[in-house]
Amino acid sequence: MFEYIAPINFSIPYEVIERLDSYMYIGPTIRPQIARQVEKLIHQSNQEELSFPITLVSTKESVKITQEVFRELKEMNLKILKESGLTTPAVYNKIEIIGELKQLIIQHIPKILHKFNPTPVIQTIEGQGMVPHTDFMRTCSLFFLLSNPENWSTEWYESKKDIDVQTKKYGFIWPFVNFEDIELKKTYQIEKNKWYVFDNHTYHAVKYNGDHAVRRAFQIEFSSITAEGLFNLLNEKD
């Protein structure tokens, strides 16, 4: 039975993986999701200069943030950060791989998965880790760790009650969750140079047992298939 993450018999030639280190994205500007922009505002130093309502624009939506909503989200975010044992939020960056390199990667993905729009990306997390969240734009991914795995762990949580991030209570999707609403189910240390099916939709957190580090990963994202479904399809292929 699949639970949150599992190694998989899948591979992409090493010479293709090597090209990820020197990959440069040249394409349209990708604006961060609204939630990431709000989080950045929460932790900026000159908050007295903020003037509400604030209009935030992402690649797919535009939202006005009132002072009341901002205060509520700030209180929640700082509380989650503290309960996670983190002093600062992670610096997060995701680059979509496009062009010839993307086509080369797609060639090595089983054709049965092509209908689920596989999207290769490079993800970087810098700092002490990330608080529990759901990657609402993707349900699962094929995951390949590029950096040193020592002292990094990934945790998955199940909701204790109905938490529907899709309701857009704040006018946009807020992917973070209070600790009192979730329960830790699995802790896993991912190995380097090994492929996994990764459940991105279930609430999960990333932690570094130290002051500061950088974790880089290559992921092939999927948004219209579950992690268990992806795992089963790849097993059927074998």
Q: What is the pLDDT of residue 166?
A: 53
pLDDT score recorded for residue 97: 97
Percentage of residues of the chain with pLDDT beyond 70: 97
User: pLDDT averaged over the chain?
Assistant: 92
Residues 139-164 pLDDT 10s: 999 999 999 888 899 999 998 876 65
CA distance 225 to 180: 29
pLDDT digits (tens, 9 = 90+) for 160-180: 876 655 567 888 888 998 899
For the chain, domains (ranges, CATH) are 5-28+90-237 (2.60.120)
The answer to whether residue 1 scores a pLDDT higher than 90 is no
Which pLDDT score, from 0 to 100, does residue 104 have? 97
Is 237's pLDDT higher than 80?
no
pLDDT tens-digit map of 191-209: 999 999 999 999 999 999 8
Give the chain's count of helices (H) and strands (E): 5, 12
Q: Which residues pair with 124 in a beta bridge?
A: 93, 216
- Residue pLDDT, tens place only, 90-101: 999 999 999 999
Helix (H) / strand (E) containing 229: helix 227-237
% pLDDT > 90, the chain: 74
Structural tokens at position 11? 């591979």
55, 154 contact by CB (below 8 A): no
Position with higher pLDDT, 115 vs 48? 115
Q: pLDDT tens digits for 24-74?
A: 899 888 888 999 999 999 999 888 889 999 999 998 889 999 999 999 999
